[in-house]
A and B are shown apart, each in its own frame.
Chain A
Amino acid sequence: MRIRFRLDGQSVEVDVKHTETLLRVLKDRLGVGSVHFGCGEGSCGACIVLIDGRPRYSCLTLAGYVDGKEVSTVAALARDGELTEIQKAFVENNAAQCGYCTPGMILIVRALLEKNPSPSDEELFDALAGNLCRCTGYVPIINAIRSVIKR
């Protein structure tokens, strides 16, 4: 089937199989580098994208579902090369090591803060419960997020 959707503000059109996941289409067909395959079953958060502003596991989303919708990756966040506050905070706090989890982390935080600009620790940990990081031990990630919440 042929689907049409907006990807980071640009319209794209692509032929997909009914069974194909959004993750595969983004990575293999559209060459999106920031969306990562971690587990393929909704357990790690590395593949998160925003669909109409809401965080979704692209590995569990059929590509056909985004027909007519708006899909955003981290690439949509920076404006004219200027990083957003949360991205800058990640850099300042050394919150990325290998970076595999980073795009998913940033998108989930963005979605959370849009809904709830000053989440409690519990709300924050709840939101991050589906995002695994093997490298940082989460502490710098939490510090980065807290620095943005305080501002």
Chain B
Amino acid sequence: MAKLRGRGIAAICYPTGMNLGGDPSQTVIIAQPDGTFVVNVASVELGQGLRTVLAQIAAEAIGASIEDIEVRFGDTQLAPHDTGTFASRTTHRMGNAIIKAGQEVRQILLDVASKILEVSPQDLEIRNGKIWVRGVPDKFISVREVASQAQFVYNIPVVGKGHYVKPKSIVDPETGESDPHSTMAHGCVVADVEVDTETGEVTVLRLFTVYEVGRAVNPKLVEGQIIGGAVMGLGAALRETVYPRYPQIIHQTTSFREYVLPTAGDVPKIIYKIVESPTPTGPYGAKGVGEMVANGIAPAIVNAVYDAIGVQITELPITPEKVLKALSEKGKSK
């Protein structure tokens, strides 16, 4: 009977979105009468922070200030085609579409501002909600004013549309080569565990995680995904299952009493690092983060358990019963 410690490592390469040409995102940005902008997207905010991230991207692409951007979600009748929120895709796919739409809006704003200011659009700069003649930044006109005047004075609709799709890549019959993914994100997890050989219980002491996310458009939100994903992975590794724990069906999981999620007191120390290596295919270099942050946790914990007790658990979750059974099969426990 002992408490044995072990360390395990897992690494992950995670492709962003569905590929092979079937995963388009499209959007329309429309200026409102007061000069603010509505970005219409058919994917949805689940709490991951899309509302913020897509507004940041739109503001950057247009040159508007972020307070003047409203991202509207989920109305598939009003927003153009999009495959949805899944596969860690929306920041990347929709972000790219928004950049294109934003650039169209930006060009309209510059054309209108050039009429107002009587200079050529090439001589204008636009950023953070202001437009000015290059070199004279303190004599600016606001983006809202220009967007309003476009509609009321110049009779020009301020609308931008954009789309993004990763084109299908055909496999070369000679070499087998193809380019299936729009981009790959990467990660690595190290787990330190303690296994109680008397009870079979596995305690995760620490999780070290590092993720290469392309560009962290909003580092605070990426951090939220990383920590949330780590604890979700922890639950998957140690507890969560819809299968019966014991041979009989009456022990099947039917509620949160048997489907045991981690609670606040179960969370180990989580150390994380974000590495940025912008991808040329991403909006300002961003890749998908959402799912890979949960995926590497359980493999690292399984490997750490192996390091601690010398048996490889091959089925999740790593319940005390499985650990004790594995130990007795190995003839280690008494």
Which residues does A use to contact B, with CB under 8 Å? 38-39, 41, 43-44, 94, 96-99, 121-122, 124-126, 128-142
Contacts and interface: CB of A to CB of B under 8 A. Distances in A.
B135 interface: no
B261 A132 contact: yes
A105 to B, nearest CB: 9
Contact of B270 (A126, A128, A137): A137
Contacts, number: 76
Contact of A136 (B46, B228, B257, B261): B228
Interface of B: 46-49, 220-221, 223-224, 227-232, 255-257, 261-265, 267, 270
A96 B264 contact: no
Given A135-B228, A136-B228, A94 B221 contact: yes
Contact of B264 (A43, A99, A125): A125
B227 A139 contact: yes
Contacts of B265: 121-122, 125-126, 128-129
12 contacts: A39-B255, A43-B255, A43-B256, A128-B265, A129-B264, A129-B265, A132-B263, A133-B264, A134-B228, A136-B224, A138-B267, A139-B270
B47 A135 contact: yes
B263 A140 contact: no
A125 B256 contact: no
A98 B267 contact: no
A130 B257 CA distance: 11
Contacts of A121: 265
Nearest to B223: A94
A138 B235 CA distance: 13
A88 to B, nearest CB: 16
Nearest to A130: B263
A97 B224 contact: yes
B263 A138 contact: yes
A38 B261 CA distance: 13
B46 A98 contact: yes
Given A94-B221, A124-B264, A138-B264, A132 B229 contact: no
Nearest to B234: A137
Given A97-B47, A137-B231, A131 B263 contact: yes
